[in-house]
Amino acid sequence: MILKLGSKDKLVEQVQKKVGVAINGNFDSITESAVKAWQKANGLKDDGIVGPATLGKMGISLTPTTATPTSTAGTYSKEKIETTVKAKGYKWFEGKDYHLNIVGVRNSDTGKKVTNVFDDKLTISYQVNGKWVYREWTITTDPGTKGVKEYHNAAGVARLVPGQYIDSHFLGKHQGKYDALKQIRNVKVYRDANRDMAYDETKIQEGVFGINIHKAGKDSTYVENWSEGCQVFKREADFNSMMEIVRQATAAGFKAFTYTLVESKDL
């Protein structure tokens, strides 16, 4: 959550109370000036922007519901995800607010069949004021039918190899169009060039291939070529919820994000 000039939110009222100005829920120029003075007096950057650091210093808590709503009840849990990640010897981030554990779960039940549907999950586990928040959404970790048949890489369509990719993504533009999690460091992908509608896992390449985490349509039914290796949200609203968390983490000082992919059979 970031509050600045023009923001209108219940949290603005708490900020206004803290800095001693009229409480109206509108982050106006008077509030901005008061925030700058308060930040300077408390050893913070006096930019008039109220992010996680300023909120924390003010003692204003972002509850999980306020931080980011979720649209699913959850197939898994923070505890299940954490146990699996640690069992595989991967890093689990804790101790700092908004240090995100972004973990995809590939549906193992379908084997290597190209289902062309969104039957995987993306989860995020993180702390706010020391308390754990868990979010989960429906995605695909696999390319769809059009992606498998009409791939644009001569080596074949890409499919991300399960593993942990440290600092692999950052907040950037997907295809130059909108904010997403953009791949910036090497990942491993299977390459499948035979178009037989079954994923091959024999040829592996490592590199930067544009394996981004982005969205499909408003509420897409089929994957098709929304993914040719990317991790893609079924619903735009879910993607927007995830991106709000990413922006909060960025405001808290995190510039790169680790992506971990596991299989459902491991949970």
Beta strand 231-233 with 213-215 is parallel
Local confidence band at 62 (pLDDT 50, 70, 90 cut-offs):
low
The partner residues of 73 in beta bridges, in order of sequence, read none
CA 15 from centroid of its chain's CA atoms = 27
In this prediction, residue 11 carries a pLDDT of 84
| Between 108 and 51, residue with greater pLDDT | 108
pLDDT tens digits, residue range 120-149? 999 999 999 889 999 999 999 999 999 999
pLDDT tens figures, 145-175: 999 999 989 999 999 999 999 999 999 999 9
Whether 67 has a pLDDT exceeding 70, the answer reads: no
Contact 93, 99 (CB under 8 A): yes
Q: Which residue has the tokens 């971990």?
A: 260
Q: What is the pLDDT of residue 126?
A: 97
Cα–Cα nearest to 239, from 176, 177, 178: 178
**What does pLDDT average to over the chain?**
92
Whole-number Å distance between alpha carbons of 133 and 146: 36
Which structure tokens are listed for 177?
């169009």
User: Which has the closest alpha carbon to 80: 121, 129, 138, 140?
Assistant: 121
Query: Which residue reads 């069949």 in tokens?
Result: 113
Helix (H, G, I), strand (E, B), or coil: what is residue 46?
coil
Query: What are the pLDDT digits (tens) for 183-228?
Result: 999 999 999 999 999 999 999 999 999 999 999 999 999 999 999 9
d(CA 241, CA 183): 19
pLDDT-derived band of residue 56, with 50, 70 and 90 as boundaries?
A: confident
CA distance 240 to 235: 9
SS3 at position 225? coil
Residue at token pair 């640690």: 86
What integer pLDDT is reported at residue 71 of this predicted model? 40
